[in-house]
Structures are given as C-alpha cells and as structure tokens.
Chain A
Amino acid sequence: MSSGPSLIRSVKEIPPIDYYTSGHRTCAGCGAALIYRLVTKAAGPNTILIGPTGCMYVANSHQFLTSPYAVPWYHTQLGAGGAAGIGIAAALRALMVKGKRKPEDINIIVFGGDGGFADIGFSGLSMALTYDYPRLLYLLYDNESYANTGIQASSTTPWGATTTFTPSGKVKRIGNERYKKNMALLAAAHPKIKYVATATIYPPLDLMNKVIKALNSGGPSFIHVLTPCPKGWFYAPHETYELARLAVETGMWVLWEYSEGKFKLNYKPRPRKHVKEYLRRQGRFAHLTDEEIDMIDKMVEEEWKYWLESDKLGKIILPW
C-alpha cells in the first residue's frame, strides 16, 4: 500500500450519497449522529454497520420501525461490539475462502459508545484487535458518558464533569473524580495493529480520511472520535461543531494517528487556547472554580510536551 488509498482532498470531493439518512431521532445537535453520516459516506455502500446498544442504537432506530441505514445494519449487545465485528469478518472470510460467497472487499464498522467500548466491551474489543481481519473498523463515538441511560459517568468521562452518577454535591463537589481513559493509546498497545487514530467532527475531512485509511490498512483498526453531546454536556445544540473545534484548539482533544507503528500528530495548536474557552461553554463543568480550570489547563500543557516529543520521534511515549 505504498501509494495508499485515495483520500478526500476537499469538501467538494465528499460523495453526495448518504448511507445514514432520515428516520432517526437523535437529539438536535447530536455529535455522534453527525459523524455517523460522515463516516458512512467515507466508507461507501459495501459496508456492514454494527450498533452496540446506546444512543446510536436506541435513538437511531427507535419506535416506528424506521431505519436510517441504507446499508446492512445489526444491533449488538452493549458489551459485544468487539465480538460482533470478528463474527462477521470470520464469516465473510470463511465463506469466501470456501467458495460459498463471491470474494469481495466488504467494510465492517462497529460504531460503539464509550460505555460499550471503554467499559463493558473493553475485553471483547481488545480480543478483536489481536486478530488480522481486514476492513474491520472499531469506531468509538465518545460522548463522554452513558448517554442513552440518562448521562452516567463512564471511564472516558473527564475529570470534573457532572453526570447523574457523579453529581456535584455539597460534600462531593467535583463531580467525576476519575481521569479520562485514553482508548486510542490502549488500542495502540496491541502489537501489529495496523491503524489507530483519534478524531472529532472538526475538521470533518480529517475524520473521513482517517476512516478511509483505517478501512484500507489491512487489519483491524480503531478510531476514537470525540462527539459533543448537547444533552450530556449542557450546551445549546447549534454549538456542537464549535465545541469540537475548541476541544482541539485548547489541546484537550489531541488529533493523532498511528499507522504501521508510526505516530503522527495531525494538528498542533499554535498557540494553544486556554481550556476555559472549551470548558466554560459546558454546563457540566459550571461548578468548577477558576483555579480548578487552571489546574486542568496545566495538566494539558504538561501532556502536550509528550505529544510533541512523540510526534518528533514518530513513536508513542505515554504522556503522563
């Protein structure tokens, strides 16, 4: 793959066809729904989608037997995303090898939430990343909570965020006191993994091209996508894109990719904006003091030294 797959160079080149269409009822401004559309456009028609339980299951195919998917789609259990992808990939390989189905390139994208991939389905995801099935993409849409059950903390909820399980109270004021788990680094810890990346809605072409690279990488791949969630983060629905941009520009969300063992930053904020520009726009952090926000900014500053160093070396160094 020396020449690489053909990427989308400008917005004008984005395919006009949608494979994630009307018929879903996510919240207005739902970041995860926005990326579903971009990701499926990038993947094209020869794609199978798997939806572990979560907002992208319940809100996408809810109630009136409507389906927003113009490609095959199958619900899978909350903790079964990893196994689901492997089952389908194994079936396609076996059927093709044994001459029971015509050989063809088929993409499999498992579209799992942070609860689904970082918590309950973590073991299955990790199992999947040790196999060698091509065109098998595990895409984590990270709204930083168990959103569908009414916004509960997961292991990717950031420090200081309030959720219904980690409210800010009179005695326990901070809210969530655990630090966000870095799922892309964990994915990269699987030897011989072909492609790992982080992304968000901003910039959209970055996300779409990462999907194309992942699917063409020759093995299972993982993309961790930050998807702002107006309901869980407490902001106005029209600000979703803006928040994704601020997450990147404040350095709180680091855009990187790890391809065939080589690490690369895709965006270096220069100068990096103070994290308050991102955090103060969200109700879930409203209880934090200026000092606490500063503390978060210092942590981010410290981490960035390692991200830049990793970029220079082309190798991953743990940023803490």
Chain B
Amino acid sequence: MSAVRPVPPITIEKPVAKVWTGARAIAEAVKLADVDVIAAYPIRPYTGIMNAIAAMIADGEFQAEIIVADSEHSQFEVVKHAAATGARVFVGSSGVGLMYAYEAMLVTGLGSVPVVGVVGTRALDDPGNFGMEWTDAFTTRYFGWLISWPRDVQEALDMVLVAYRVAEDHRVLQPHFVALDGAALTHVAMPVYPPTKKQVTEFLPPYRPPYRIDPMDGPVTKAQHIAPSLIGPEQRKRIDVAMLKAKEVIIEAWKDYARYVGREYPPFIETKWMDDAEIALLSMGAYMKDIELVVSKLREKGLKIGTVRLRYLRPFPAEELVKVLSGVKAVGVIEFGFSFGSPYRTGPLYHEVATALYEADERPKLLDFLFLGGREPKPEHFIKAAEMVNELAKGKTFEKKAYWLTLRGEDI
C-alpha cells in the first residue's frame, strides 16, 4: 500500500468500553490485526501480552502460529523470517531479554523487514530488578526500528494498529515497536474502546511485501554479502530515507485512524498548557499522567508551566520539538534511562532533546532528571523538578545538568 485510498464519509460505530490491562489490550490489537505468526519467550513485564495471545489462540478466537522460542534471539529471528516470507507477525520482550535479542533486532532493521512488536520497558540486570527503566528500549535507537511510546492503555492499543500500517507501508518497510512503560502500562487496567474488526480491516490493508522469500516470487536472494565499494552506503541510505518518509506516513496513518476509528491524536508531540508556557517538563510514556497532574496543580498556583510528551522516539520529531520549545525559557527532561559517562552525565532522552534544540534560534536551558534503578517517582519528585526548572528559568545556576531525585544519600 502506498497512497491513502479515497473513502466515502463514514459513520463511526458507537464504541463499547472494555476494562483491560495493557497486556490484554495489546493482545486484542494483535487479534484485530489478524497477525499470522507470533513468537514468545517469557520475561516480565511483557509476558502477560503473550499469555493473553496464547489463550486467545488456544480458544480459537483467532488463527495464528505461535512459536515458543528457546531464547529472545530465536524469538526475534523467527518473526523476522516469517515476515520476510509474507506473514504479519508480532513479537516482544523486556529488559535483559530484549538485550539478548539485539543481534536479531539489528538485522531486522538493517534488513528492512517490517516486524511489529512491543517492549515492556524494564530495569536491566545486574542486580535483577522488576522496576522500570528505559535503557533496554533506548539502546535500540541505532537499529532502524521505529519506536513509539504510548501514555495509556488505550493509546497502546491504537499505536500497535498504527504501527502495522506504518511499518508495512512500502515507503517505510522498517520494523516498529511500541514501548510500554513496564508495570505502569502493562499491568494497569483501564476502560478501553477497541475499534471494531471492520474499522481495522478498512484502516489496515493486508501485508504485501515487495519480495517474499517464497518460490512464488522467484529466486530472490536477500541479504547477500556485499562489497562496500558497490552498495555499502546506498543500502544504509535506503533506511535513512525510510525513516524520513516514515514521518509523512505516520501523519497520514494517524489522520486515517481518526477517520476510521474516531479517535484523534497529535502525531508526534502532545503538549498541554504550552501556549503561554515559560517553562516545561518533557517526557514520554505512562508517567506523563502524573507529570500532567502535577503541572495542572502548579498552573492553578499561577506558574506558567506546560508539558511536552513525545509520542515517537524514532523517527525523532526534531523540527516539531523546536517549534514547540522555541522561546520557552527552561525545560526539564524526565527520563528513566542511563548512559554512564555521557556528556554532563545526562541520560539518552536528554541527548536527543539537546541535539534537536541546538538548532533552535532561542534555545531553552535544560536540566535532566534521572529516575534510575526502578524506584518509582512520586508527584513530589515532579514538583521538585518543576521548581528547579523554574529556578533555572529565573537565572539560578546549577552546578550539574542531571539530578537523581529518587536517590537516597548525596547526589554527587
């Protein structure tokens, strides 16, 4: 599929709410997308999604091959090969499990195979930790996967459906995962309005890769060893351009999603109270709810503060972010990932944001707030972050760029 098909005006059926956890909602999205091959390997917190899918298949709710793999490496290779053969696939992992799959993820991205999956973000070992961190997902930024980050269960379900549409578009043809903040999203139930089968069928055309590994498509040789002098940079450029094109495809897809399903989202960045904001807190994912709550209270007290929520990490909406934050005096980045020894000892989301804002005519000042080791932040931490950003805007100098607000003891 490439261009948007012309459609007559549609009447959208009245949606019926279900109370679902993130895990269940994703499983329903997989069913709605009529996925053909699924590969599973257990690791918390994403496991519940596969449990739910396996139960649906066992009960005959939908038909798919579900492979119980021997490792995440095999798991991701199974779906890569299935997708290359023409099947729509689903996969997922968390934490060290995702790390174990990295080689397979990498070749899926560099080989341009439109696999779709989820990452239930989780703190990395050692020591083992069921808490939430982002480093598992963030470290895949280089792999050619599209990465989106929902705020709640409803958006998670919607994002999975949109992920298939974007990934499989011939202008993109790259893998895509949706990052669910572990536990905060995977295990929390809320009312969800699933689209109907009919709506999804209209929104999401069947998966038709240009060349399948199937004798029906002739003797396709895929991923043969190459001479760098022949197509080295050109092959990489294809992916670079796919990511560029993905931005227009994403905009189209969300517009279409709203048209068929009746739910609207801003494609890349969701802002609140930003029209006249002098300072902002920026983050992604499930904790945005708490951040927004804190900011709404601070607004009531007269502080000119807003929130910025990134919905996509790849492709990164740099130009859009510059537009949103130009003229804002100071921004606090709230994040859960680490990159030890990095510039100013900041986190990876900070690096992305700082790089994007370097091009702004009026650059806001930045502070980074790192929530590491899985300890949950509380509203008081976000209040503290907002206060510090406010002081930064007022001209206070901070001796560091990154602060660990949940740390006990001295934040050296």
Q: B-contacting residues of A (Cβ < 8 Å)? A: 45-48, 50, 57-58, 61-65, 67, 69-77, 79-80, 82-88, 90-95, 97-98, 100-101, 106, 123-124, 126-127, 131
Contacts and interface: CB of A to CB of B under 8 A. Distances in A.
A72 B74 contact: no
| Residue with the highest number of chain B CB atoms closer than 10 Å, among A73, A97, A126 | A73
A72 B217 contact: yes
Interface of B: 34, 36-37, 39, 63-65, 67, 69-71, 73-75, 77-87, 89, 103-104, 107, 206, 212-227, 230-231
Contacts of A50: 81
B36 A77 contact: no
| Residue with the highest number of chain A CB atoms closer than 10 Å, among B63, B103, B219 | B219
A86 B230 CA distance: 32
Nearest to A79: B73
B65 A83 contact: no
A202 B374 CA distance: 60
B224 A88 contact: no
A138 to B, nearest CB: 13
A118 to B, nearest CB: 15
A86 B87 CA distance: 13
B345 to A, nearest CB: 35
Contact of A127 (B70, B80, B218, B219): B70
A69 B220 CA distance: 9
B65 A72 contact: no
A73 B81 contact: no
Given A72-B220, A95-B36, A90 B65 contact: yes
Given A80-B74, A124-B74, A61 B81 contact: no
Contacts of B39: 87
A73 B221 contact: yes
Nearest to B76: A83
B217 A80 contact: no
Contacts of B231: 65
A99 to B, nearest CB: 10
Contacts of B212: 72
16 contacts: A46-B215, A65-B226, A73-B224, A74-B222, A75-B222, A75-B224, A76-B81, A77-B103, A79-B73, A83-B73, A83-B78, A84-B81, A91-B87, A92-B214, A98-B63, A124-B74
Contacts of B79: 87
A84 B77 contact: yes
Contact of B37 (A58, A71, A91): A91
A71 B221 CA distance: 8
A123 B223 CA distance: 24
A254 to B, nearest CB: 28
Contact of B219 (A57, A72, A83, A88): A72
A124 B74 CA distance: 6
Given A74-B213, A95-B87, A123 B71 contact: yes
Given A80-B104, A88-B85, A91-B82, A70 B219 contact: yes
Contacts of A94: 36-37, 63-65, 82, 87
B182 to A, nearest CB: 25
B225 A101 contact: no
A100 B82 CA distance: 14
B63 A90 contact: no
Nearest to B228: A63
A84 B78 CA distance: 6
A55 to B, nearest CB: 11
A62 B226 CA distance: 6
A61 B221 contact: yes
| Residue with the highest number of chain B CB atoms closer than 10 Å, among A70, A72, A101, A124 | A72
A123 B63 contact: no
Contacts of A79: 73, 103
B63 A87 contact: no
Closest 8 CB pairs of A and B: A87-B81, A61-B224, A91-B87, A83-B77, A127-B70, A83-B74, A91-B85, A91-B82
Contacts of A61: 221, 224-225
A87 B78 contact: yes
Contacts of B216: 101
Given A67-B224, A75-B224, A126-B70, A90 B78 contact: yes
Contact of A124 (B70, B86, B206): B70
B67 to A, nearest CB: 6
A73 B219 contact: yes
Contacts of B81: 50, 74, 76, 83-88, 91
A93 B104 CA distance: 22
Contacts of A101: 86, 214, 216
A41 to B, nearest CB: 15
A98 B225 CA distance: 35
A90 B219 contact: no
B219 A77 contact: no
Contacts of B82: 87-88, 90-91, 94
B235 to A, nearest CB: 11
Contacts of B86: 91, 95, 100-101
B352 to A, nearest CB: 28
B227 A64 contact: yes
A87 to B, nearest CB: 3
Nearest to B217: A72
A74 B213 CA distance: 7
B312 to A, nearest CB: 28
B108 to A, nearest CB: 10
Contacts of A127: 69-70, 74
| Residue with the highest number of chain A CB atoms closer than 10 Å, among B73, B74, B217, B227 | B74
Contacts of A47: 215
A106 B80 CA distance: 19
Contact of B213 (A46, A80, A88, A97): A88
A80 B104 CA distance: 8
Given A75-B224, A90-B82, A97-B63, A124 B71 contact: yes
Contacts of B70: 82, 123-124, 126-127
B85 A87 contact: yes
A86 B89 CA distance: 13
Nearest to A73: B221
Nearest to A78: B103
Contacts of A62: 224-225, 227
